[in-house]
Structure 1
Amino acid sequence: MSNHKYFGTDGIRGKVGESPITPDFVLKLGWAAGKVLARHGSRKIIIGKDTRISGYMLESALEAGLAAAGLSAAFTGPMPTPAIAYLTRTFRAEAGIVISASHNPYDDNGIKFFSIDGTKLPDEVEEAIEAELEKTITCVESSELGKASRIVDAAGRYIEFCKGTFPSNLSVRGLKIVVDCANGATYHIAPSVLRELGATVVTIGCQPDGMNINKECGATDVRQLTERVLQEKAALGIAYDGDGDRIIMVDHLGNKVDGDQILYIIAREQLRQGRLSGGVVGTLMSNIGLELALKQLGIPFERARVGDRYVLEKMQEKGWRMGAENSGHVILLDKTTTGDGIIAGLQVLSAMVGNNMSLHDLCSGMKLLPQILVNVRFSGAGNPLESDAVVNACREVETALAGRGRVLLRKSGTEPLIRVMVEGEDEEQVTRLAHCIADAVKAAG
């Protein structure tokens, strides 16, 4: 585990206007990244963003920093994070940069980087960028300065790429789908992909105004989607998060279908078609129900630390092609290099159409155990997880679960939160036990 000063598990993130998400820092970050990346040959960096109002300010700051280091920026405008990974690969750009805070509220923002291969930057490159940040900005000769351009057909290119991952012998014609784009980066992409494949699409969360991203909509809040699926008598609902790398679905009866269930459906379908190579990676948060259902199918399963980069690391280590977080990051390396909500959704749709089954029926082979997650804010000072009271509370809860459940406590990688998760067979008991631990964390933090 490297000791980064600025880079978290998913780039650099924070409140806009507070360090490090300020125009002057982002300008310097653009310059520092430019200095490191310029050593590698190509001079072009692709910059995409979600729909947050602060994206305008931050993209121009990044562009100025990159130009001072001698690199040219190619802007895509609002685009899903996985689209930038794809475009970085196809344009053979030196790197891709996404200005987004994913599922966070609009007044947060962040910067994440993709390598020329469309994957997250390796630790050593992030460390080299942090080392440059300690230096004073210098400017290359005027003849060497970077320029700025716009990729006008970025959306069309990515729409075609997504459609290409759906089997050409299948059609979603006649399926009514409600799509919730979280007023985020998929608003002009996901509905087009599904319509062009023949679906009847009803949209919500597709009117971004710079401030309504993720607000009571999208993958982190499916209440609107559930209501609309039932009202429209739709076949299913699909929700993405603000930057389009997560997906949560809703079946025709209004039941939520999370990343664990989506992973199960896709793995089982690949097994049925004889295309599954190796096993499946989940995280410490993946429901025991997933593990048991995969075991029944004879599919190997491994848990990684929470965070899509750790899922990917574990997949690469095992040589496996498929992994996911229950929050809806689904990584399918046989299709693309990073978690992609649109592409994951299309694989579920192909399983539905190919088997002539509803989403509800596809989920029926897997029973989710009640899993309660309580987020506890803490001051950020000290580590409540090391407190004796918290350790004792966990021990008591584990005794109460008697080997038929799990307890997991972890610090959030992006916010000053302790996440308390308890899983077991009885929802009331699990809820009570989770709150016992949460109270101990509150008292310690």
Structure 2
Amino acid sequence: MEKLFGTDGIRGTANRFPMTPELVVSIGKATAHIVKEKSEKKRPKVVIGRDTRLSGCMIENALTSGILSAGADVLLVGYMPTPAIAHITKSLNADAGMVISASHNPAADNGIKIFGGDGYKLSDEGEEEIEKYILTEEIKTEHITGGFIGTACSVGDAKGRYIEFAKASVKGLSLQGLKVVLDCANGAAYDTAPHILRELGAEVVVLNDKPDGLNINLNCGALHPEIMMDVVKKEKADIGIALDGDADRVIVCDEKGNNVDGDHIIAICAIHLKEKNLLKKNCVVTTIMTNKGFDIAMDKKNIRVVKAKVGDRYVIDEMRKKGYVLGGEQSGHIIFSNHTTTGDGIISALQLLRTMKEKGEKLSNLAACMESLPQVLVNVKVKEKRDIDTLEVKKDIRKAEEKLGEKGRVLVRYSGTENLCRVMIEGEQKKEIQKMAHEIAHGIKKEIGG
């Protein structure tokens, strides 16, 4: 069966398969149908929020139509970060939450992420069930007529609900005296994030908070933190915070303008939680993309590291199984399970700010707890995702692995959200690993380049 879902929902170019209005109607129908089967309510409720992409309105209308036609109600919350939908779904006692967003992708793309009524992203099995209905079974809705058709309404206090929820995650924290540069990526948090930081007392310099539907993630935000870093130095700020388009990830910089990625944020917070005896089972969950320097830093502090598959929901699954409280990815998807059910860029930034305040230290000092091994990441556009082991380039991969030995590693994998193959190499010599990565990337491009 054809796959619609990647590692983080359904995603693609808006108005092309699978993000066509016609298929989106089917996604709405399938989701509502499954929700109705599992709910004891006569009229299940589905929350829908979106980021600032121009195509969001088109997809929102199609998705709403599909859900209503299957006899479920829709609660529209407008522009809202992905993690806010997870919270609001629980807060409103809804049966599911749906986010229209392509996260860090360019403005031409869009996507759909689905949360259950518990605020957690759907399992692989849940996604497969929706795919089955969309691709192989027709959902009959002709019997749903008259008063059985669903209704849609806007939720006026959704923004306020999330703002108070985020502030409650650092209850009693005052950011008075801290100057923060905040890059909203012209995305879903352009309005909520500045409010949260200001209400906690911070002086906030806001960047990229004027979305026009096409400038989301455009040379800004978590994928392009360079402007934020420059502004931090010019403004003599204490920290820079860069969110992505749907604010489920965060990258920061210290007061000197140095990049502090997800690995460093997790390391800083893990050590602080351990010092306060709040790091459950003395363990953090990361992925295979995590820098080897993180493992070295955690080993020095006697903190155990568990590895999950790439994707924040796989990190969360591992955390839920064992009751761990902290996990995340180098990309800035970070989960503090005592506060959230999914990656939340704003709440992650707040936990880091709380650590800075409680320890009374500058971020540059805290970030020194970990030294990253030189790492190179090269993305190759591909037309198909053939098994890496069947490609000729496998010889170059083995050659690089043998040369690096125990002093580095090679990781070649396909993106779960884009038609890309990612070549990541770590080692002691930057020039050497750059050469290796580009040779492997060239081999991949030659065989399956798009």
Are the counterparts in 2 of residues 45 and 97 from structure 1 also a CA contact under 8 Å? yes
Structure 2 counterpart of 1:391: 394
Amino acid corresponding to residue 283 of structure 1 in structure 2: T
Give 1:299 deviation, angstroms.
0.6
Are the counterparts in 2 of residues 331 and 339 from structure 1 also a CA contact under 8 Å? yes
Are the counterparts in 2 of residues 259 and 330 from structure 1 also a CA contact under 8 Å? yes
Is 2:318 aligned against 1:319?
no
Are the counterparts in 2 of residues 72 and 146 from structure 1 also a CA contact under 8 Å? yes
Structure 2 counterpart of 1:339: 343
Structure 1 counterpart of 2:86: 85
Partner Cα separation in structure 2 for residue 351 and residue 382 of structure 1: 44
Amino acid corresponding to residue 46 of structure 1 in structure 2: V
Is 2:125 aligned against 1:127?
no
Amino acid corresponding to residue 41 of structure 1 in structure 2: E
Partner Cα separation in structure 1 for residue 160 and residue 352 of structure 2: 23
Give 1:61 deviation, angstroms.
0.9
Partner Cα separation in structure 1 for residue 116 and residue 125 of structure 2: 12
Partner Cα separation in structure 2 for residue 258 and residue 396 of structure 1: 30
Question: Equivalent residues in 2 for 1:71-220 (5 A)?
Answer: 71-133=72-134, 134-139=137-142, 140-168=144-172, 170-220=173-223
Q: Structure 1 length as normaliser, TM-score?
A: 0.97
Structure 1 counterpart of 2:40: 41
Cα gap change, 1:161/1:381 in structure 2, threshold over 3 Å: closer, same or farther?
closer
Amino acid corresponding to residue 45 of structure 1 in structure 2: V
Structure 2 counterpart of 1:16: 14
Partner Cα separation in structure 2 for residue 338 and residue 414 of structure 1: 17
Amino acid corresponding to residue 432 of structure 2 in structure 1: Q
Give 1:176 deviation, angstroms.
0.6
Could you list the per-position Cα deviations for residues 361-380 of structure 1 after superposition, in whole angstroms to 9, with x for gaps in the alignment? 11111101111000111221
Give 1:381 deviation, angstroms.
5.9
Are the counterparts in 2 of residues 384 and 441 from structure 1 also a CA contact under 8 Å? no
Determine helix, strand or coil for the equivalent of 1:436: helix
Partner Cα separation in structure 2 for residue 269 and residue 167 of structure 1: 17
Are the counterparts in 1 of residues 30 and 139 from structure 2 also a CA contact under 8 Å? no
Identity of matched residues, %: 47
Give 1:8 deviation, angstroms.
1.5
Determine helix, strand or coil for the equivalent of 1:402: helix
Structure 2 counterpart of 1:305: 309
Are the counterparts in 2 of residues 384 and 444 from structure 1 also a CA contact under 8 Å? no
Structure 2 counterpart of 1:224: 227
Give the CA RMSD over aligned residues: 1.3
Are the counterparts in 1 of residues 388 and 394 from structure 2 also a CA contact under 8 Å? no
Partner Cα separation in structure 2 for residue 381 and residue 120 of structure 1: 25
Give 1:431 deviation, angstroms.
1.1
Structure 1 counterpart of 2:292: 288
Select the residue among 271, 274, 288 that pairs with 2:277.
Answer: 274
Determine helix, strand or coil for the equivalent of 1:407: strand
Q: How many residues align structurally?
A: 441
Unaligned runs of 5+ in 1: none
Amino acid corresponding to residue 430 of structure 2 in structure 1: E
Are the counterparts in 2 of residues 4 and 127 from structure 1 also a CA contact under 8 Å? no
Select the residue among 359, 363, 387 that pairs with 2:363.
Answer: 359
Are the counterparts in 1 of residues 52 and 212 from structure 2 also a CA contact under 8 Å? yes
Partner Cα separation in structure 2 for residue 154 and residue 232 of structure 1: 33
Unaligned runs of 5+ in 2: none
Amino acid corresponding to residue 342 of structure 2 in structure 1: T
Partner Cα separation in structure 1 for residue 226 and residue 380 of structure 2: 23
Amino acid corresponding to residue 246 of structure 1 in structure 2: R
Amino acid corresponding to residue 363 of structure 1 in structure 2: A
Are the counterparts in 1 of residues 176 and 200 from structure 2 also a CA contact under 8 Å? yes
Partner Cα separation in structure 2 for residue 266 and residue 104 of structure 1: 28
Give 1:318 deviation, angstroms.
3.0
Amino acid corresponding to residue 141 of structure 1 in structure 2: T
Structure 2 counterpart of 1:265: 268
Structure 1 counterpart of 2:413: 410
> Could you list the runs of 4 or more consecutive aligned residues of structure 1 that deviate by over 3 angstroms after TM superposition?
381-385
Amino acid corresponding to residue 245 of structure 1 in structure 2: D
Structure 2 counterpart of 1:27: 25
